[in-house]
Structure 1
Amino acid sequence: MTDSVVRPAGKRERLSDAAAKVFHEQGVEKTTIADIARAAQVPVGNVYYYFKTKDQLVQAAIGAHARTGQEIITALEQVDGPAERLRALVRGWVEQRELAARFGCPSGTLATELDKRADGLERELADVMRGLLDWIEAQFAALGRTDSRELAVALLAAYQGISLLTNTFRDPAMMAAEGARLERWIDSLVPAT
């Protein structure tokens, strides 16, 4: 491994990440530009230098979701074997159960909110979620499953569903139990050697 210099995130990236976080916690409609500036620790006047409208901040938040998703996939690619990568994905979701209990899935809740707006941003977020779905499908395909797309949809749907229920009932234990079930399900799909 090589040494690298880690630079602090620039204002634009900090604002994008803050927008994703605050939109997740408060919703797009309730969030003000001042809320995002405060979360990013940037003077509110500076926000307008990078983003002229709230919709541009929503688009930036979608970009932050894309970066986070890619970082997760990159980390999962370091895990040996497709079944273990899928189990690691599930464990990562379960590790976020307290956050899900309070606010739901970051991408899922944003997707639900954007779907009501009909301004095209929902399609951008769908592309981000499709990236994860495609990655999951590739893992099932690597297991030799000819039904890899259906299995990928089932896994992602199970996560989105349990995120909603965990949030609705404010019960992180629900996600932990579903995570354990999903890991057993993944194990049942691994071909015997």
Structure 2
Amino acid sequence: MTDSAKPRARAADKRRRLTTEAARVLHEQGVERTTLADIAHAADVPVGNVYYYFKTKDELVLAALSEHSGHLDELISRLDQLPDPRARLKTLIEAWVDQREVTARYGCPTGTLAVELGKRADGTLDTEAGTLIRRLLDWAGDQFRALGLPDPDDLALTLISGYQGMSLLANALRDPDIMSRQGARLLHWLDSLQAPGQTP
């Protein structure tokens, strides 16, 4: 690496750390309770340097949403490697259940952010959060469509609603077992769905 490239690499690393920690800290503390200093401390970046990369907290929220979008891309990419759409959906549910301890403590990262941002007067960032949920809904709808099931978009809505509901309850009651139990129900529900003309 050349001497001129080193500062750029350090700057990129700082921005990356800030973005990663913004996603984590905002999930754990919420938008209103989180300060730029909280994120700077978590990222091990001097507070004054944060403004070089992000002028406002809203810019950091956007960066956090971008981080969540990247995680969703990675998840969908892994799921799409599975040959069967039902297996993809079941693996998605299993991935949700695997995160039950974090979810019980802090809620769904995207869902809680969308709810909090939806209560703000300006109403711009909530649209970005909603876009992530829409992407997951569309992907799930495509899986149900590939299975030849009727009303695939409604089935996707049922699935994602089930996840958001169990996430909210697990968080509200601080009970990760809710995720395990409801995840098992969703898996059973998926197994019960048959396309017209198929035998169970």
1:73 and 1:51 map into 2 onto residues whose CA distance is 29
Cα RMSD for the two superposed structures: 1.6
The equivalent of 2:14 in structure 1 is 11
Q: TM-score, normalised by structure 2?
A: 0.89
Contact 1:83 1:190 in 2 (8 A): no
Quote how far apart the aligned CAs of 1:46 are. 1.6
Describe how 1:49-88 pairs up with structure 2 within 5 A. Answer: 49-88=52-91
The equivalent of 2:147 in structure 1 is 143
2:62 and 2:121 map into 1 onto residues whose CA distance is 14
Quote how far apart the aligned CAs of 1:164 are. 0.4
Contact 1:76 1:89 in 2 (8 A): yes
The equivalent of 2:99 in structure 1 is 96
Question: Which range moved further: 7-16 or 126-135?
Answer: 7-16
Describe how 1:167-182 pairs up with structure 2 within 5 A. Answer: 167-182=171-186
2:138 and 2:105 map into 1 onto residues whose CA distance is 28
Quote how far apart the aligned CAs of 1:190 are. 3.8
Match for 1:31 among 21, 29, 34?
A: 34
- Where does structure 1 lack aligned partners over 5 or more consecutive residues? 1-6
Return the letter of the residue paired with 1:46. Answer: N
SS of the aligned residue for 1:28 comes to coil
Percent identity over paired residues: 56
Q: TM-score, normalised by structure 1?
A: 0.92
1:124 and 1:40 map into 2 onto residues whose CA distance is 24
Question: Which range moved further: 58-67 or 183-192?
Answer: 183-192
1:163 and 1:94 map into 2 onto residues whose CA distance is 10
